[in-house]
Amino acid sequence: MALREAIKEFVARKEYCPPISLKRLKEAAIELINEQGSDLSYAEWIMVELHNRVWLNVVAAIPYERRILMLPQCLKSSSQCEADIDEIGLLCHRCGCCMIPTIEERAAELGIMSIVAEGFTSAITLIRNNVVDAVIGVSCLDSLEKAFPLLIENAVAGIAVPLNRAGCKDTDVDKEYLMELLQIAADHRTELDYNFVKQNIDNWFERDNLKKHFSTQACQASDIALDWLADDGKRLRPYLFAATLAALTEKREFSQRDEMVAIAIECFHKASLIHDDIEDNDASRYGKPTVASRYGNDVAINVGDLLLGEGYRLLAKSGQAELISIISEAHITLCKGQGMELEWNNNRRHIDMDFAIEIFKLKTAPAFEVSLVLGMLCAEADEKMAESLKAYSVALGIAFQLKDDLDDFEGEQPIELRPSAIFAHFCENCDEQMIEEIIASNDVKTLLHSPTYEPYLKQATARVEQMVEEYRDKALETLEVITNIELKRLLYRILSKALK
């Protein structure tokens, strides 16, 4: 009890805002142990309690009916329990041989859904499907250690109660403490449902709706541009913009201005894809012929230019001149990154990791930054936040591109050599003859999977995987100064989704 009070005081003093990264949680636990003179063996338990305290007020403000209680099957009596187990979990007979019925009955009285099952995966699924908003879980420390990354990556509002002893059989839990946590309550707040963001974006990018925003003079270039905008694509960038705006304002309706800015953001992105496909001589995108493959390079260049013009026109119509300045800077930065890559393609040579990372920083990060910062400006949020969003975007963009380099070597699809992190590792660790052979190869994937190169490829893959995690951590560190819980949770989830 004294240690829990110390944790409560520690979290209040540090003013932690959830979510909190696993790395920061470990550091906080060690700091508290040093302050209290506690034994290091308590570190895992302290991490759990720190996490609980950071999230406590958020969970308390979530209605009971939007919470789920996860109990482990090992709480049952192994010698007397006759309950069946299905794909969801234990179907308790309420025989009274263990504490499960009492706990579940109290949860039901409050309106909390409960499941007796192993692991937190089912709870994450329910949260992603907008069935519940918070999880209260009981588990052994070993299981919690495995579950923590999953909970943290998904920015789940959660509280965990460690079992009094492990063993996976006939365990027990501090029932009084669990009951206390079950019934915590505060003024209710409604969790943002980001499905409404996606629904709006789907509507905005219907062809007939897009046509209303385009310049009125019909022509072939406009028709192709409309088809290209309304066609396949993740529309991640307009989603980031709209979700950031929603998180900062908690608004559930978007204005005409918001719609125009979102469409403008996608205009710039789709224009860059058309130009990239020409410059890289790619024949397909999204599993379909590129605009250049269908209509020729001259028409494709013109369509890309038209999309850029439409994007700038929509931003001007939105009435916020600073948005144009930000987009322009990002546009210039992206072109410089693409220019570095094109120059290398025309003069293929050794590169180091710094060269590859610089290209990633210039080519990939601006797209994330623009979406987030424009959302922040349209929300009229504190502009000091822009520096954190920029640093987050740089780390996310680099991690995203590093992950893309790894994905190139999955499957059977051949790849062309480009200034990637994988190639940079080979340049830094192989002899001249091997590097020249890689540069001259028309099938890089097959070559690097050959017996001579495979050991180096494994080393390169391991190094790049480590770099992905390093930049993931850097992205999370940039969010520590953000005090808006909804925005912080959104950015945690975006990072997790982008690096899957």
pLDDT digits (tens, 9 = 90+) for 189-223: 666 778 889 999 999 999 999 999 998 777 999 99
Residues 6+ apart with CB under 8 A from 128: 154
The Cα angle at residue 74 between residues 73 and 75, in degrees rounded to 5: 90
* Residue 320: band (very low, low, confident or very high) from pLDDT cuts 50, 70, 90: confident
Residues paired with residue 85 on neighbouring β-strands, in sequence order: 90
User: Domain residues for 53?
Assistant: 2-182
d(CA 51, CA 141): 13
* Residue 122: band (very low, low, confident or very high) from pLDDT cuts 50, 70, 90: confident
Q: Establish if 190 belongs to a structural domain.
A: no
Which is more confident, 118 or 395? 395
> Do 165 and 239 fall into the same domain?
no
pLDDT for residue 177 = 92
> Do 88 and 204 fall into the same domain?
no
> Do 386 and 306 fall into the same domain?
yes
Lowest mean pLDDT among 2-6, 432-436, 487-491: 2-6
d(CA 466, CA 255): 42
> Do 53 and 167 fall into the same domain?
yes
Residue in the block written with tokens 């693409």? 338
Write the CATH number for 364: 1.10.600.10
Which is more confident, 442 or 419? 419
> Do 333 and 222 fall into the same domain?
yes
> Do 103 and 230 fall into the same domain?
no
> Do 311 and 458 fall into the same domain?
yes
> Do 127 and 229 fall into the same domain?
no
> Do 318 and 220 fall into the same domain?
yes
Q: Tokens standing for 397? A: 């963009």
Note whether 120 and 144 are within 8 A (CB): no
Q: Establish if 328 belongs to a structural domain.
A: yes
pLDDT digits (tens, 9 = 90+) for 272-283: 999 999 998 888
Mean pLDDT value across the chain: 89
pLDDT for residue 28 = 95
pLDDT for residue 286 = 81
d(CA 54, CA 340): 44
Percent of the chain predicted with pLDDT > 90: 66
Q: Establish if 98 belongs to a structural domain.
A: yes
Show which of 121, 147, 182 is a domain's final residue. Answer: 182
Please give the backbone phi and psi of residue 418, each rounded to the nearest 5 degrees, phi first. -145, 170
Mean pLDDT of 463-476: 96
251 burial (CB, 10 Å; 0-12 / 13-18 / 19+) is middle
pLDDT digits (tens, 9 = 90+) for 81-102: 666 565 555 566 567 677 888 8
Residues paired with residue 158 on neighbouring β-strands, in sequence order: 135
Q: Tokens standing for 472? A: 């993931």
Note whether 274 and 311 are within 8 A (CB): no
Q: What total number of domains does the chain contain?
A: 2
d(CA 386, CA 369): 9
Asked whether residue 150 carries a pLDDT value surpassing 70, the answer given is yes
> What does the DSSP 8-state code read for residue 192?
P
Q: Tokens standing for 412? A: 């059977």
Q: Establish if 188 belongs to a structural domain.
A: no
> Do 308 and 425 fall into the same domain?
yes
Which is more confident, 175 or 190? 175
Note whether 115 and 70 are within 8 A (CB): yes
Q: Establish if 187 belongs to a structural domain.
A: no
> Do 23 and 172 fall into the same domain?
yes
Lowest mean pLDDT among 184-188, 239-243, 260-264: 184-188
> Do 118 and 167 fall into the same domain?
yes
pLDDT digits (tens, 9 = 90+) for 29-81: 999 999 998 888 889 999 999 999 999 999 999 999 999 998 887 777 666 66
Q: Establish if 189 belongs to a structural domain.
A: no
Show which of 155, 182, 209 is a domain's final residue. Answer: 182
Mean pLDDT of 126-141: 84
Show which of 154, 182, 210 is a domain's final residue. Answer: 182
* Residue 14: band (very low, low, confident or very high) from pLDDT cuts 50, 70, 90: very high
pLDDT for residue 46 = 93
Q: Establish if 224 belongs to a structural domain.
A: yes
Measured N-to-C along each axis, helices 353-363 and 365-378 cross at an angle, to the nearest 10 degrees, of: 40
DSSP string, 247-267: HHH--SS--HHHHHHHHHHHH
pLDDT for residue 435 = 95
Note whether 357 and 444 are within 8 A (CB): no
pTM of the model: 0.88
Q: Establish if 76 belongs to a structural domain.
A: yes
